[in-house]
Structure 1
């Protein structure tokens, strides 16, 4: 009898999945899932500031439902750089699952500080630009890029199914401060080796030309310092270490001492100096409490608050509530930043307050005091030319930005069928370098309000919006416990709706209406407290809308006697 030989079949290989959970059609909460062979790595775990509609919300992070469903697969979080929109969700992610964190020294230094604030410990593995390492089925390489923070990298990820490069935030800067030029040679080599998919920063694609070099800001600082005998206050992002270095260089050149104010500014300066990214002679630095001991022309103050944040050091200076710095006529304030979309009103408010105090305010529309950290159109074109990706996904931008970046990729020769405009939660699936759109996974946002994570939903926000717009009204009914009759006239208390002392006629009319409403109720209705509350609330709401065209939130309290 002949024996039939059976061949062992290899199980079919699964695609590598690239799933943005944040960063598409928005600026912020950047997080991308890479999934292959039952293993997951995350690139970045960012947060974003709440918009005006999210009343009382402190922070917004990506929805983690998909990650929670696949927690056993997650092997690591990889970071491109240390800005909040790329690291800010980390403390909340680590409460759900503990995984190692991979990043460059400065990035991990900022994350470590943030985790200490939340009393969270994590395993951190330091890597530098140029390092190649493996995490499970993924081979990862860090490539140096320029940005408005030290130690920014692009991330190259390889599996058996192909290669993906995620640029992170970047610009092409040929005169950076205290950091090398972007590694164009390595990027070009990757393009020659063959790149299957590029995910690229879209923030400044709608701006033509090239981004101003960071070194150019230093020349502007020198010019402004040279022409001033006043105190100089420079507001910048605390994480912009290059900008702090330029201010310190100009201060030393013009024989001024430097003081720092703002918690995040002091923390970042400490980390940057410890790691060697910030080089300021110790004798050039004074404590903020000592600034009033020096003549005005010998002082530079570096502060937070360039975005008009309500509790920031610069806002407190503008309000004359800062403990150590009282603004006076003749002071010079340099806003060394541009407003993040949504912060324009706050920034203008601070500028106006400073002008009212007689302060000279210099901002980016008046002089080259700020250089963006994001590549403009020609730099993005250069990135596409160097990498020559077969497939392209624009990221890190609102929809118009993503659309313009997709059009640029088409101009640079990427096939229309290989340029993808997708939403958060929509996977790209790669098999042997070919990319297709997959089935969506859960995505969205989680709202952080104090210590509440995800407990603030639509209903809570709707109530907050109503309170902010129309105020609160409380109706208090004192009723006999047995016969359900009113014992005295109802009380009405207003908070944020009408001013009681100036609206006595309106309130008295409402009280009379409530007395009649309760008196006329049928016995069956009076037997149910919830029915009494519902009918009085509805009547009172209609009454006030007819009188004021507003609908306050109404709370009804029944006191049983």
Structure 2
């Protein structure tokens, strides 16, 4: 039996993870996540994989299998489930987060909770959930088997022997796969550039404790809203330092309460206070845990620092602890926020001098260990940008157990088909991206995004001409601009230019407003390109009396 792996997202970028494993009769989806948009996507909150290929194989789909609860792996699942009624399988925390998303959208999901090392049968596939350590509990590598093929889909992981939550990493789970024979290892490449080992989550506790003890005023702590293990440490530290906790941020409040309901974290009533109570307390007795570690404009951190929040703002002596790595593209956002914090009298812990964050992803030595544990025939780097994928391929050249040709570099849209443990074919499937604007929940195509970029860069010009009852046009036309303000003499030159060339567009015997509009658009673009080196969006309007 042949088995193919189709990459719909997550290879060539950080985020938007979505993979399809498929035989002639069955198909399963692994993850369906979002990629957070940066300033290159004006007005866009996040990007998700397109579902064109899913539509083609919907008759074969047997379920969605979730590796863990981070947004770049589950954030688009609710959108997918609006179109396809599929069972979802995953850990309790991951599916707890999904269930909350479903309730918020009035869209109940069929959720199937799994236990560590449990095997689920889905059509031609047997899928075993093998626990790995990461920065969120209930993270799994998926051992996917069908006749003549087996793969370990190891998305986000690191080898942590002292995790804050869950059990330590168990090598025996993975050496057992080598004994059975493993066709392919799909493995997280995010930290492929980093030498050595990734530090344990528990290793930052002492540094955080020291920072909290030395803080004289209020402490504002932020990390990714799904980093429950980090919050668990902060709760313990706050109690030890005599500080109460305020949770601020919808996603944060949701995730922490889900984790508490499922027993992953404790929320003692004597530790938690509301905002109204906190404002009456001494500054050195309170810690605000807030969202916005990437400087997102809709986050609590941004709204507090920018002054948008009237009930909570930066004061002299406040200390901000940003316990997260900066996702590429967000650097300017955070630098601006840090400057605003200092101008308002606060300060920010220097993450370069204080270890207040550790990655949840494997570094080079852990990647090598996983390859050694599993001894796959093929290694397929995933979950990374080209620099990460290529670095991993180069790094694994030194391992004697692998032929360099068996480290496969792929990209979104690639499909690998395996037969009898070998690659029978590599081809392409349909892939695209869907851009989400949360204000109104718009789904936007790529053409509309290009138009938004065009608008943000070069602005808009509206040209209005009026057609009289006798068939003539009132000249010169009315010209208005938005997004930029040309000099008045430039506007006058444009009017004169259009008045001069408008007769070329006229045909009294066969008037066509569409032809007139297109001509106005073409003439206006020509003028701005030649005289001002701009390419604005041109909106022609023809009015008739």
TM-score (normalised: structure 2): 0.94
Q: Which residue of 2 aligns with 1:506?
A: 490
Q: Which one has a bigger Cα radius of gyration?
A: 1
Per-residue deviation at 1:306?
Answer: 0.4
Q: Which residue of 2 aligns with 1:558?
A: 542
The answer to whether 1:39 aligns with 2:21 is no
Does structure 1 conserve the Cα–Cα contact (< 8 Å) formed by 2:217 and 2:318? Answer: yes
Per-residue deviation at 1:280?
Answer: 3.2
Q: Which residue of 1 aligns with 2:45?
A: 58
The answer to whether 1:430 aligns with 2:418 is yes
Per-residue deviation at 1:539?
Answer: 3.3
- Distance (whole Å) between structure 2 residues aligned to residue 120 and residue 109 of structure 1: 14
The answer to whether 1:30 aligns with 2:17 is yes
Q: Which residue of 2 aligns with 1:138?
A: 125
The answer to whether 1:386 aligns with 2:386 is no
- Distance (whole Å) between structure 2 residues aligned to residue 184 and residue 525 of structure 1: 83
- Distance (whole Å) between structure 2 residues aligned to residue 52 and residue 360 of structure 1: 26
Q: Which residue of 2 aligns with 1:420?
A: 408
Give a deviation string over 1:227-263, Cα, whole Å, max 9, x none.
1221111011110011111111111001110111011
- Distance (whole Å) between structure 1 residues aligned to residue 476 and residue 5 of structure 2: 66
Per-residue deviation at 1:531?
Answer: 3.5
Moved more, 447-456 or 211-220: 447-456
Change (3 A) 1:535 1:154: closer
Q: Which residue of 2 aligns with 1:282?
A: 269
Per-residue deviation at 1:117?
Answer: 2.7
Give a deviation string over 1:4-48, Cα, whole Å, max 9, x none.
xxxxxxxxxx31212222111111111111112410111111121
Per-residue deviation at 1:67?
Answer: 1.4
Q: Which residue of 2 aligns with 1:398?
A: 385
Change (3 A) 1:538 1:249: same
Give a deviation string over 1:139-159, Cα, whole Å, max 9, x none.
111111111111101111111
The answer to whether 1:350 aligns with 2:337 is yes
Per-residue deviation at 1:526?
Answer: 8.1
The answer to whether 1:469 aligns with 2:457 is yes
RMSD: 2.1
Specify the SS of the correspondent of 1:272.
Answer: helix
Change (3 A) 1:249 1:137: same
Give a deviation string over 1:74-129, Cα, whole Å, max 9, x none.
00100000111111121221122111000000000111112223322221110021
Change (3 A) 1:310 1:193: same
Does structure 1 conserve the Cα–Cα contact (< 8 Å) formed by 2:25 and 2:124? Answer: no
Does structure 2 conserve the Cα–Cα contact (< 8 Å) formed by 1:525 and 1:531? Answer: no
Change (3 A) 1:525 1:259: farther
- Distance (whole Å) between structure 2 residues aligned to residue 387 and residue 521 of structure 1: 71
Q: Aligned to 1:242, which of 218, 225, 229? A: 229
- Distance (whole Å) between structure 1 residues aligned to residue 156 and residue 79 of structure 2: 22
Specify the SS of the correspondent of 2:489.
Answer: helix
Give a deviation string over 1:460-479, Cα, whole Å, max 9, x none.
23322221112111122222
Q: Aligned to 2:352, which of 365, 370, 373? A: 365
Give a deviation string over 1:503-552, Cα, whole Å, max 9, x none.
33333343344344446765548833333333433333333444422232
Change (3 A) 1:434 1:539: closer
Specify the SS of the correspondent of 2:145.
Answer: strand
Per-residue deviation at 1:206?
Answer: 0.4
Change (3 A) 1:423 1:114: same
Does structure 1 conserve the Cα–Cα contact (< 8 Å) formed by 2:223 and 2:323? Answer: yes
Change (3 A) 1:369 1:477: same
Does structure 2 conserve the Cα–Cα contact (< 8 Å) formed by 1:259 and 1:300? Answer: yes
The answer to whether 1:538 aligns with 2:522 is yes
Q: Aligned to 1:169, which of 156, 179, 183? A: 156
Q: Which runs of 5+ in 2 are unaligned?
A: none
Change (3 A) 1:225 1:512: same
Does structure 1 conserve the Cα–Cα contact (< 8 Å) formed by 2:505 and 2:515? Answer: no
Q: Which residue of 2 aligns with 1:318?
A: 305
Q: Aligned to 2:511, which of 523, 527, 533? A: 527
Does structure 2 conserve the Cα–Cα contact (< 8 Å) formed by 1:484 and 1:527? Answer: no
- Distance (whole Å) between structure 2 residues aligned to residue 477 and residue 161 of structure 1: 70
Per-residue deviation at 1:407?
Answer: 2.7
- Distance (whole Å) between structure 2 residues aligned to residue 308 and residue 326 of structure 1: 15
Does structure 2 conserve the Cα–Cα contact (< 8 Å) formed by 1:410 and 1:416? Answer: yes
Q: Which residue of 2 aligns with 1:91?
A: 78
Does structure 1 conserve the Cα–Cα contact (< 8 Å) formed by 2:222 and 2:322? Answer: yes
- Distance (whole Å) between structure 2 residues aligned to residue 196 and residue 403 of structure 1: 21
Per-residue deviation at 1:456?
Answer: 2.0
Q: Aligned to 1:151, which of 124, 132, 138? A: 138
| Count of aligned pairs between the two proteins | 543
Per-residue deviation at 1:305?
Answer: 0.5
Does structure 1 conserve the Cα–Cα contact (< 8 Å) formed by 2:459 and 2:537? Answer: yes
Q: Aligned to 1:160, which of 122, 134, 147? A: 147
Q: Aligned to 2:201, which of 214, 224, 229? A: 214
Give a deviation string over 1:269-301, Cα, whole Å, max 9, x none.
110110111123221011123221110110011
Change (3 A) 1:271 1:508: same
